[in-house]
């Protein structure tokens, strides 16, 4: 029997994996946000099949927000760095007083 948890988790999994494949072709995305979404879908589907509907729904909503984060912020890895410089500045030399 197909439940709403099966449909929701499968749709979210297919959407996130297609986004990852598209970004993998065009960019170099990190893998672990997409792995977190996939594992959350797996656990939520498992919980939904065992009768833990509220917890499964909460996990699927959290995975949906994580997917939106991956969708809206594709370059989150570089958000802490300034766009002009990616390396640390060279150390300054100290002159001796002689």
Condensed to tens digits (0 to 9), the pLDDT of residues 29-79 reads 778 888 888 888 888 888 888 887 888 889 889 988 888 887 877 665 555
Please, which pLDDT band fits residue 80 given cuts at 50, 70 and 90? low
Query: Does the pLDDT at position 98 exceed 80?
Result: no
Nearest to 24 by CA among 74, 89, 58, 88: 74
Nearest to 5 by CA among 54, 49, 62, 64: 49
Q: Which of the two residues, 12 and 28, has the higher pLDDT score?
A: 12
Rounded distance between C-alpha atoms, residue 90 and residue 37, angstroms: 39
Contact 63, 33 (CB under 8 A): no
What DSSP designation does 6 have?
H
Rounded distance between C-alpha atoms, residue 71 and residue 74, angstroms: 6
Question: What value does the mean pLDDT take over residues 80-98?
Answer: 61
Q: How many CB atoms lie within 10 A of CB 34?
A: 21
């Amino acid at each position: 029997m197909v439940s709403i948890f099966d449909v929701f988790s499968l749709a979210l999994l297919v959407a996130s994996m297609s986004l990852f494949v598209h970004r993998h072709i065009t960019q170099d995305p990190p893998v672990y946000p997409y792995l977190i979404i996939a594992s959350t879908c797996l656990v939520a589907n498992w919980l939904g099949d065992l009768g833990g509907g509220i917890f499964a729904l909460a996990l699927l909503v959290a995975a949906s927000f994580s997917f939106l984060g991956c969708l809206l912020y594709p370059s989150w890895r570089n958000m802490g760095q300034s766009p002009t410089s990616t390396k640390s500045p060279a150390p300054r030399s100290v002159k001796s007083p002689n």
